[in-house]
Chain A
């Protein structure tokens, strides 16, 4: 079932590794909130009203900058304009340094039932390096008040393969996260994205990224450890306790439709994908003029859909070969027989109930395998 995404493009401070669209100036914050309502209205006006959505996700940027009243207002608008299931999953990404108890209680009563905290690490020096604005203690505190406010479905974002990170230091982070009673963990390998301050630091030799081998070692340690604790890895970087997989993100990986609002948000709707203007000013300008703030788009033909389906499914729940045949009128295994056989032999792919899945070794080589499958 489709999902709704809202992008909140403001941050108190941008992190050195982040390449999502966000700005540190709040000058047009109020304009943004009212324009967001207008975009929701405009989009709803051009879409059929019989589609039922099962998730809402606030990403950013820092969505937890929204007051409970603002959050309530946007959620109300979405529910008024679209058919959203009563028990839909409603997630807000939070910066642990920007939340307080009454705000989270307000979120709870506005319908927010899942929080995702960008904790990244429980080591002070890591947080300093990553230029995060919160401390480890603030993170623990924020999770505590969230649980007190009645939001118990909680994800933490954690980052491994930081420069100089040992397996012990990483294990400490995983243990602290577990002990906080979280239902979900997103563990990302620190990636140097082009154009970020981190990329410049690496180019200048100020930061040495860990070699591929130790990156693979920490990743493997993560997968083994979390599985041992009862978390199921249902996507390359995502682990959940039984029943707590993120419904919204599964929308993407299952190649289902989603609508995005706010600067730089992407949408995929019935064979078409488009993306909004990413600059806040341009996005505001378009909405003010009563135009849908699209920057570009593409039609997804069957070949494109097929390629996307392969890598989205492979990195998450695996490729259901029956579903694949139904969608694309093709036999994936037969079309890639030699390669898939080599992967079976090499232990990177496995077949289970007509489903083609990556093994743990295969997850490490996911992109390599996706580039081969056709």
Chain B
């Protein structure tokens, strides 16, 4: 155990985490340069590579010969790099004793870096600061190093200058991991406690669990139990990861590896849960487990209603891979049969939607995302959970509504502070405080309603700061807010899928902008389309799509008949892609109109 080191890498997007990981794997001979050319090894989902983010956690074992002549086992545990996945990050941090903090010498410290760093410090990890990309002309090594020193309270010489691209400093990083990160402590003879920090779905083997054995020893053929659901399974295979699975048959305290036990779905293998033996197991689970709760909800509907069963099938397959996606069937008067799905955050939602379209070839309509509200009813004072605005009770029956608030951290060059303050205030933010990381960079803290950031906040933040500000958040609590349900009516018929919950003071402006946007998105048709926004029975805004005046082919003779029929078929196809709401044809984009509203 003394020769084992478990560590992870913390970095902001594009600061060089994957490149550094590749270099470490290469230097330790774990993989070859040729493998690397294929792709960056840690990110093996297409989407991850395209978006430059890591969604899923993995763990790789490396061997390294230290200058003391001893061969060490280094386990690199990957962490996801986005705000939506902070709980998953915290679990993988708990599987380590040390963390490499990578900061881009041309960029400096970002919000995500800090929030993940705090999680790492909270988990008691030894931090090895690395300043990356020092070879670039635009590198500000001095300033950024000072920022790191101020943040960590470490010595200047503790910060390792490196360039993952050219290989500068990689050897030093490996040495530092061995010298500075403490070896795992744990009792291989104690009752088994293994921390699940991830699981993936293998279509042939079922769930593959990635875990860190904290105490005890686990062997194949043993019967294990998951604390979260009390389910028991017989271990089929155990080993570690290194360019694929390496079977060892056993893992013990301090080890990181995988486990296959005939678990049919990853929903049974909860991140943060503890594995123990069914017999003579540990009496308690490891601390810090919580059930992952979706924060953002949206309706998912097949564009063509015949595809409903295909969508169900696709969602269930997606759920096998990613149990944090929750879904249940719902019906919408406007969109027909579909599902209400819950996601960890907006990015998580986008990724899921994209996978449904890309991997399963489905065409889906998504409704405007919303958060989950607690509605306290009059008289009974019953507290009901509402994750779909159209389910909101009538205003007269509501005592009050509570909505989730988050604690937001924004790091920005100080010249954009004014813009950012304004943006946050516009989003009903409550200002907390500002700290300075260095003389030019501010770390601003706000509390914001989650509903105000689940769409376009991040884009707006980037645009008011010319792309420099970075942002991270965590859930804080539920608070009472003066919220109302805003309905959209087309020719007098409410369209449930377009309902939203907004703050009363913003409702008028919101309604006006939404009507105008819908007017742009709904094409002229045979009949006039009246668009109204209403709170309860009170109409607060109105727009009209004037009816089409003329659409008729002038010439249609013998040689035109086939061509004309094909044109009409095309027109029919186009109509099919739209949703029929009453007599009104509504294009798919309209259901996400809110997202593209102009100020």
Residues of A within 8 A of B (CB): 5, 20, 59, 188-189, 191, 212-213, 215-216, 219, 236-237, 249, 251-253, 258, 260, 264-268, 273, 275, 298, 304, 307-308, 311-312, 315, 338, 342-343, 346, 348, 363-372
Contacts and interface: CB of A to CB of B under 8 A. Distances in A.
Given A265-B559, A275-B559, A342-B527, A367 B553 contact: yes
Contacts of B559: 20, 260, 264-266, 275
Given A266-B561, A298-B562, A367 B526 contact: no
A366 B552 contact: yes
A211 to B, nearest CB: 9
Nearest to A366: B552
Contacts of A370: 568
Nearest to A316: B556
Given A236-B556, A249-B557, 10 more contacts: A59-B557, A191-B553, A215-B549, A216-B549, A260-B558, A266-B558, A266-B562, A363-B552, A366-B553, A368-B525
B209 to A, nearest CB: 53
A237 to B, nearest CB: 5
B571 A367 contact: yes
Nearest to B585: A372
B561 A365 contact: no
Contacts of B550: 212, 215-216, 219, 364-365
A366 B571 CA distance: 13
Nearest to A315: B556
A346 B526 contact: yes
Contacts of A372: 526, 575
B561 A312 contact: yes
Contact of A371 (B554, B555, B561, B568): B568
A20 B555 CA distance: 11
A371 B549 contact: no
A39 B553 CA distance: 31
B565 interface: yes
29 contacts: A188-B554, A188-B555, A189-B554, A191-B554, A191-B555, A212-B548, A215-B549, A237-B554, A252-B561, A264-B559, A265-B559, A268-B561, A275-B559, A307-B565, A307-B568, A307-B569, A311-B556, A312-B556, A315-B552, A338-B583, A343-B526, A346-B526, A346-B527, A348-B526, A363-B552, A365-B548, A365-B551, A367-B552, A368-B525
A184 to B, nearest CB: 15
Contacts of B555: 188, 191, 237
A21 B281 CA distance: 86
Nearest to A307: B565
Interface string B319-357: 000000000000000000000000000000000000000
Contacts of A307: 565, 568-569
Instruction: List the 5 closest A-B pairs by CB distance, nearest first.
Output: A366-B552, A216-B550, A216-B549, A188-B554, A371-B571
Interface residues of B, number: 25
B397 interface: no
A306 to B, nearest CB: 11
Nearest to A217: B549
Contacts of B562: 266, 273, 275, 298
A157 to B, nearest CB: 10
Contacts of A268: 558, 561
B526 A368 contact: yes
Contacts of A264: 559
Contacts of A251: 558
B564 interface: yes
Contacts of B527: 342, 346
A20 B549 CA distance: 27
Contacts of A212: 548-550
A312 B553 CA distance: 11
Contacts of A219: 550
A252 to B, nearest CB: 5
Given A307-B565, A363-B552, A365-B551, A371 B558 contact: no
Contacts of A258: 558
Contacts of A216: 549-550
Contact of B552 (A236, A249, A252, A343): A236
B339 to A, nearest CB: 28
- A249, A260, A307, A372, most chain B CB atoms within 10 A: A372
A326 to B, nearest CB: 21
A189 B551 CA distance: 11
A127 B555 CA distance: 20
Contacts of A369: 526
- A260, A348, A364, A367, most chain B CB atoms within 10 A: A367
A304 B568 CA distance: 12
B187 to A, nearest CB: 74
A317 to B, nearest CB: 14
